[in-house]
């Protein structure tokens, strides 16, 4: 996969997350499309292949939040590693009809874990590192969280579609190069 | 497969590295990095935000077409009412000038304001934290009050970068503002609650407060100018320990639709 288009894609997702989605969704229902993107990467290509992009997405996500730099990247890496291990057992990518519900389930669980672990990390930073971080709101499993999850899953499908396109284009180019050479 | 396979080693290395980054960030090292990244990203964030605000506004407009006729009739009646009130207010304006002098309320014209665009929203701030496109280079500092055009308090600057700043709304659960009720002079503390709520707390049991009374900043502690409108008193209740009264505050601002704000640099 070529790096530049991928960088542009990641940057656009971050801009959408920080700047655009807030204008269309109520504050408690804003989907986490960066997380959906990370889950997508981990499922499609595994933890190792896109580690750099996962870290970059986390760092860029952090500039828009009040978190300490590196916090989201750390959580994304932990999640991606977990998904990679899960994928090794269940091979989500190769499932046909079951892929989309499995994918949705992985995103939903990841979102819950990300928000939940985020609050934990926030407390750790506040009390052990004496960081000037603000109080985090408690995680509530209500209608808002349900909609946030639903929108995140939909965002995940869109991200998955584009990643698939990227990969298909790359495979075609690779095939053409091999055929020519 | 051994525990320390290449993948696991890579994972451990990255996790340790990121923990170090977080630790270093907690010592204040993240501000310059965030500042540089925000300087690069700010023009893009601003453009996308303005565009998306316009599109969202268009959707809102299309959705509200059905209600326009009723609203038009309502507005015509309101307009007539306002015309008569306007005449009365001109008289009050003179009286107001004298009162301002006496109560030391800061008129908006005397503020040194910096107009700023909202460029991004903290996805984890529950709608209470935003990024604006002005920072240290425009003379903005931490804890400066943030208002909207009509002089209504919306929040404070919580973090400053060279070309951007983070603002926390008064509805943020970390926000505390010294406030006062205009008619009675009763003092309290306006606090943010979880979500987009706002309450006035620490009101003495002996004080008499009424629904609809206006709440302004009291200027105590010199952290804010006196006289910025916070909102109106809503539902009155007792604090859990029953030592104080507390009320909800209804702000006239739609916090989810902020686009341009003003940072009060001097007052």
Query: Which residue from B45, B14, B135, B39 is spatially nearest to A58, judged by alpha carbons?
Result: B14
Provide the pLDDT confidence category of residue B252 given band limits of 50, 70 and 90: confident
Q: Is residue A131 part of a domain?
A: yes
Instruction: Reply yes or no on whether the pLDDT at A75 is more than 60.
Output: yes
Q: Which residue is closest to B128 within chain A, CA to CA?
A: A27
Full-model pTM: 0.80
Tokens found for residue A43: 């499922």
Helix (H, G, I), strand (E, B) or coil at B237: strand
pLDDT of B130 reads 92
> Into how many domains does chain A fold?
1
Q: Is residue B111 part of a domain?
A: no
| Rounded Cα–Cα distance for residues B157 and B138 (Å) | 13
Query: Which residue from A131, A113, A134 is spatially nearest to B158, judged by alpha carbons?
Result: A134
pLDDT of A141 reads 82
pLDDT of B98 reads 63
Q: Is residue A181 part of a domain?
A: no
Q: Is residue B130 part of a domain?
A: no
Instruction: Reply yes or no on whether the pLDDT at B149 is more than 80.
Output: no
pLDDT of A97 reads 74
- Domain of A50 in residue numbering reads as 3-166
Q: Is residue B257 part of a domain?
A: no
Q: Is residue A65 part of a domain?
A: yes
| Rounded Cα–Cα distance for residues B64 and B25 (Å) | 46
Provide the pLDDT confidence category of residue B87 given band limits of 50, 70 and 90: low
Q: Is residue A135 part of a domain?
A: yes
Q: What is the mean pLDDT of chain B?
A: 82
Candidate from B15, B30, B196 with C-beta closest to A69: B30
Tokens found for residue B96: 């107001």
Instruction: Reply yes or no on whether the pLDDT at B79 is more than 80.
Output: no
CA distance A177 to chain B (A): 30
| Rounded Cα–Cα distance for residues A83 and A42 (Å) | 6
Provide the pLDDT confidence category of residue A88 given band limits of 50, 70 and 90: confident
Q: In this predicted structure, which of A16-25, A118-127, A153-162 has the lowest mean pLDDT?
A: A118-127
CA distance B192 to chain A (A): 12
Q: Is residue A130 part of a domain?
A: yes
Q: Is residue A178 part of a domain?
A: no
pLDDT of B107 reads 52
Q: Which residue is closest to B161 within chain A, CA to CA?
A: A63
For the segment B231-256, the average pLDDT, to the nearest whole number, is 84
- Domain of B94 in residue numbering reads as 68-103
Give me the DSSP letters along B77-124: HHHHHHHHHHHHHHHHHHHHHHHHHHHTPPPGGGSEEEEEEEEEE-TT
Choosing among A32, A70, A126, which should be mutated to test the B contact, i.e. which has the most B CBs within 10 A? A70
Q: Is residue A37 part of a domain?
A: yes
Q: Is residue B39 part of a domain?
A: no
- Greater model confidence, A5 or B149: A5
Tokens found for residue B145: 């009050």
Q: Is residue A171 part of a domain?
A: no
> Into how many domains does chain B fold?
1
pLDDT of A3 reads 79
Round to the nearest angstrom and report the end-to-end CA distance of chain B.
Answer: 67
Q: What is the 3-state secondary structure (H, E, C) of A55-110?
A: HHHHHHHHHHCCCCCCHHHHHHHHHHHHHHHHHHHHCHHHCCCCHHHHHHHHHHHH
Choosing among A10, A35, A51, A63, which should be mutated to test the B contact, i.e. which has the most B CBs within 10 A? A63
């Amino acid at each position: 996969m070529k790096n530049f288009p991928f960088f542009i894609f990641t940057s656009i997702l971050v801009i959408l997350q920080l700047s655009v989605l807030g204008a269309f969704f109520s504050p408690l229902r804003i989907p986490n499309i960066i997380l959906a993107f990370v889950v997508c990467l981990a499922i499609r290509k595994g933890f190792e292949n896109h580690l750099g992009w996962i870290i970059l997405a986390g760092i860029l996500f952090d500039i828009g939040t009040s978190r300490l730099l590196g916090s989201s990247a750390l959580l994304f890496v932990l999640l991606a590693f977990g998904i990679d291990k899960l994928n090794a057992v269940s091979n989500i990518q190769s499932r046909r009809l079951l892929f989309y519900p499995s994918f949705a389930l992985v995103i939903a669980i990841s979102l819950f874990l990300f928000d939940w672990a985020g609050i934990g990390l926030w407390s750790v930073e506040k009390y052990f590192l004496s960081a000037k971080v603000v109080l985090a709101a408690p995680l509530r499993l209500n209608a808002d969280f349900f909609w946030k999850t639903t929108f995140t899953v939909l965002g995940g499908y869109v991200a998955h579609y584009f990643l698939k396109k990227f990969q298909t284009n790359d495979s075609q180019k690779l095939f053409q190069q091999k055929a020519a050479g | 497969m051994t525990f320390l396979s290449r993948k696991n080693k890579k994972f451990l290395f990255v996790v340790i590295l990121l923990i170090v980054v977080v630790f270093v960030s907690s010592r204040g090292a993240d501000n310059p990095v965030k500042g540089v990244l925000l300087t690069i990203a700010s023009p893009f964030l601003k453009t996308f935000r303005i565009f998306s605000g316009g599109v969202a506004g268009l959707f809102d407009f299309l959705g509200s077409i059905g209600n326009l006729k009723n609203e038009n009739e309502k507005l015509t009646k309101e307009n007539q009412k306002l015309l008569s009130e306007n005449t009365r207010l001109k008289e009050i304006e003179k009286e107001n000038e004298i009162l301002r002098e006496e109560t030391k309320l800061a008129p908006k014209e005397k503020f040194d304001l910096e107009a700023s665009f909202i460029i991004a929203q903290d996805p984890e701030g529950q709608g209470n934290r935003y990024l604006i496109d002005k920072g240290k280079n425009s003379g903005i500092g931490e804890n400066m009050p943030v208002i909207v055009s009509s002089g209504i308090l919306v929040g404070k600057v919580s973090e400053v970068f060279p070309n951007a700043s983070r603002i926390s709304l008064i509805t943020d659960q970390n926000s505390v503002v010294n406030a006062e009720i205009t008619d009675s002079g009763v003092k309290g503390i306006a606090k943010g609650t979880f979500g987009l709520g706002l309450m006035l707390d620490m009101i003495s049991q002996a004080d008499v407060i009424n629904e609809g009374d206006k709440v302004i900043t009291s200027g105590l502690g010199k952290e804010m100018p006196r006289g910025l409108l916070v909102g109106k008193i809503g539902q009155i209740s007792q604090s859990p320990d029953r030592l104080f009264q507390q009320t909800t505050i209804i702000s006239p601002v739609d916090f989810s639709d902020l686009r341009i704000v003003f940072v009060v640099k001097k007052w």
